[in-house]
């Protein structure tokens, strides 16, 4: 039996792919039950609480917004860890603190079940197309059972060992690097614009040559065009992730001045009411700092 908790922009397509890959019966739970309607039409069973998602020995996936949400569905009054039991596995696909993951892993072990960190790289369209990159860490027996399933949900699975927090450290490192890349593009774009050079044309050239990778191509184009929609990852969630990066770095006495810069840029975006925009909207701050109008089509736009 399988369970899935969290049917947001990322969770829904992953849960749908589980169903379509034949991983049934699938019990699903979401705070807003209406989001499960299409999954129920395709054969999923809607649970009334997180606890109802799990039975002894099940594999339960969670894709939730933050540490508190994960802890609530696992350990709360209606949490599922007490029901998961021997041979049960919790596959945590959320971006959370490594310290939280390690604490949860210990609590799972006390209930004779396993916790696996399995955060993903990729936006909702990649989730729907089974093109996610999945980081994985935790106990070997649980990974052996779950990895074949994960390979049906993404284009690659990367194993980072038995430390349940390791996959989450890898995810935070990646999100930091994405944020840093966006800040670099934002600053370069402003310099281009203030020198009268076509910012879109230059960023396209760089994305096709020196910086030929999805982050620079996709986010770079969005930043050059001053687009913050469609929203694949909210700026508010990016701020949460950079908070986790800074906290994780501080816990192991690792200075990360660039991470703090990106975090401050995201905090400024939140203060300006941009939390619901795509997190590439952090780049609007660089335009404002240089005296440019950040609104598309505004002063200085090419």
pLDDT tens digits for range 75-103: 999 999 999 999 999 999 999 999 999 99
Tell me if 82 sits within 8 A of 111, measured CB to CB.
Answer: yes
Backbone angles phi, psi at 136, to 5 degrees: -145, 140
Nearest to 181 by CA among 77, 102, 280: 280
- CATH code for the structural domain at 2-164: 3.40.50.720
Task: Identify the active-site residue in 131, 143, 171, 234.
Answer: 171
pLDDT digits (tens, 9 = 90+) for 102-129: 999 999 999 999 999 999 999 999 999 9
Tens of pLDDT, residues 39-73: 999 999 999 999 999 999 999 999 999 999 999 99
Q: Is 171 a catalytic residue?
A: yes
Q: DSSP per residue over 55-123, as a string?
A: -TT-EEEE--SSHHHHHHHHHSTT-SHHHH-TT-EEEE-S---HHHHHHHHHHHHHTT-EEEE--EE--
CATH class of 169-289: mainly alpha
Name the band, by pLDDT with cuts 50, 70 and 90, for residue 295: confident
- Whether pLDDT at 276 is above 90: yes
Residue whose tokens read 């090419």: 302
Report cis status (omega within 30 of 0) of the bond before 25: yes
CA 140 to chain centre: 24
Domain ranges of the chain: 2-164, 169-289
Separation CA 107–CA 285 (nearest Å): 42
Q: What is the mean pLDDT of residues 183-191?
A: 98
Report the candidate in 268, 235, 234, 286 with the shortest Cα–Cα distance to residue 294.
286
Cα 189–193–197 angle (5° rounding)? 105
* Predicted local confidence at residue 296, as pLDDT: 57
């Amino acid at each position: 039996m399988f369970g899935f908790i969290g049917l947001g922009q990322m969770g829904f397509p992953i849960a749908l792919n589980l169903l379509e890959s034949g991983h049934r019966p699938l019990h699903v739970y979401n705070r807003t039950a209406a989001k499960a309607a299409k999954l129920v039409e395709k054969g999923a069973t809607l649970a009334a609480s997180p606890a109802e998602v799990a039975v002894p020995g099940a594999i339960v996936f969670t894709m939730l917004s933050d540490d508190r949400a994960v802890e609530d569905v696992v350990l709360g009054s209606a949490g599922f860890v007490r029901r998961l039991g021997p041979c049960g596995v919790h596959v945590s696909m959320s971006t959370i603190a490594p310290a939280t993951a390690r604490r949860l892993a210990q609590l799972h072990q006390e209930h004779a079940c396993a916790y696996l960190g399995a955060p993903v790289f990729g936006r909702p369209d990649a989730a729907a197309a089974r093109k996610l990159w999945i980081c994985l860490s935790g106990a070997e027996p649980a990974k052996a059972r779950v990895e074949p399933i994960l390979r049906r949900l993404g284009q690659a699975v990367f194993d980072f060992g038995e430390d349940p927090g390791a996959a989450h450290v890898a995810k935070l490192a990646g999100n930091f690097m994405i944020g840093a890349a966006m800040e670099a593009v934002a600053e370069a774009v402003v310099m281009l614009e203030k020198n009268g050079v076509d910012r879109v044309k230059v960023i396209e050239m760089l994305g096709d040559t020196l910086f030929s990778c999805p982050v620079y191509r996709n986010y770079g184009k969005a930043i050059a065009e001053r687009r913050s929609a469609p929203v694949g990852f909210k700026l508010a969630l990016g701020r949460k992730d950079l908070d986790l990066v800074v906290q994780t770095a501080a816990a192991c006495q690792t200075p990360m001045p660039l991470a703090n810069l990106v975090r401050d840029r995201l905090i400024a975006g939140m203060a300006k009411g941009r939390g619901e925009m795509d997190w590439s909207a952090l780049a609007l701050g660089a335009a404002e700092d240089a005296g440019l109008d950040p609104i598309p089509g505004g002063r200085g736009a090419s």
